[in-house]
Structure 1
């Protein structure tokens, strides 16, 4: 599904969207649930994108439904993989996820990726600005590309409205709220969440 010029929500991951950006470089944001990697690859090929066209895979956070296709896609594309330093130990399996997420990670196994590069402060990758937005996880990040905000699980959308994530799935609600307040200081038009449809918010997330 095309969101705007050069930005696609990948229908093969509907319900926990991964996104494709075709800008300075071709970039994939998140990789869906375990087993969705091949569907992502097929969808990219339908857009005339070859596996080795993908130069970077950027991860918003460590949850299983965002890193499920990572091992497969990293191997097929040869892309550099980037995530926050705080969340990398969870992705590698060196730290256990808290609460219900621990059970989910046991049921939905993801494998262990290689050579994840931690984001640097105020980093920009292929035209995407990396914005730390902790709360949902310790190292959750969002990305700003032109007037599009890729929000990961900072928020969700439903029926054209933005709402907070279920508190059972949020590591620190106070930090998450502060991250939402922080993100509203940036200029953007579109919000692209993992859960829910991309929506036009005219520059502000209102809960």
Structure 2
């Protein structure tokens, strides 16, 4: 079976089109943000260097956005990955002088298929996105999805179609839940918030910021779950949102796709544990 790349692109775009990333800019004296398509990368200034939270999608686009900010990719000394999904790791080659950290619990996600659909749902998607032009695809110019990145299995009464393995081509170190890292002017604590993936991890920085990545979305300033289709374990995801609600030691919450807020009390006002 061959799968058209445009079909995969359409399936993912159906989710990403609703996302609201922050435009590239300096947010605070010690914090910058890059918009790479539907994703954000955050850069924490640490003396004369930078610590990146996630690595985005497109290395060339990332370098262009860094130029707008007057920042060299070579000055990014550390990349802290929140998890291993393609839109958080595919831009790693832009930061070839950086030390990379991946949450220890996320290692189990590597080389595993990220998305599984029934044949019925997949065929419906194929029909829905049959008119998508190849130049609209976010996954390159190939007409068909790589055979080694898909799998068809029988699961009565349906066949299941799986695709998009999580993978990281660069070497990395692991960071554990609760582990703390100390840099020149920056202290960071890793906090596991599993659900979206097995090892999704947030980072609390200098008791001021928490970066929760795909751990929740912000809708009109209020906390809501992340996209259901892209979330591995809905029940655990909701538990982790409640965990974030009860955490202390930060004034701002940053997501990778749905903006940020400094009004945390209001954000969680409607959230039911």
TM-score class, shorter-chain normalisation, is 0.7 to 0.9
Correspondence for 1:56: 78
Aligned to 1:193: 255
| 1:14-163 mapped onto 2 (5 Å cutoff) | 14-23=37-46, 25-33=49-57, 36-70=58-92, 72-75=93-96, 78-91=97-110, 93=111, 95-99=112-116, 106=149, 112-125=168-181, 126=183, 127-145=187-205, 146-163=207-224
Measured after TM superposition, the shift of residue 130 of structure 1 is 1.0
Structure 1 portions without partners, runs of 5+: none
TM-score w.r.t. length of structure 1:
0.82
Corresponding residue for residue 155 of structure 2: none
CA distance in 2, matches of 1:110, 1:142: 19
Higher strand share: 2
Secondary structure, aligned partner of 1:135: coil
Deviations 1:1-30 (A, max 9, x none): 23323112213x252211111135511111
Q: Which runs of 4+ in 1 moved over 6 A?
A: 107-111
Displacement of 1:169 after TM fit? Answer: 1.5
Q: Which deviates further from its counterpart, 17-26 or 149-158?
A: 17-26
Greater Rg, structure 1 or structure 2? Answer: 2
Whether the aligned pair in 2 keeps the contact of 1:157 and 1:196 (CA below 8 Å) is: yes
In 2, Cα distance between equivalents of 1:205 and 1:23: 29
Q: 3-state DSSP class of the match of 2:240?
A: helix
**TM-score, structure 2 as length reference:** 0.64
- CA contact under 8 A between 1:158 and 1:197: conserved in structure 2? no
What count of residue pairs does the alignment treat as equivalent?
197
Unaligned ranges ≥5, structure 2? 1-24, 123-138, 140-144, 150-162
Q: Is the 8 A contact 1:15 1:196 kept in 2?
A: no
Partner Cα distance (1:137, 1:148) in 2: 22
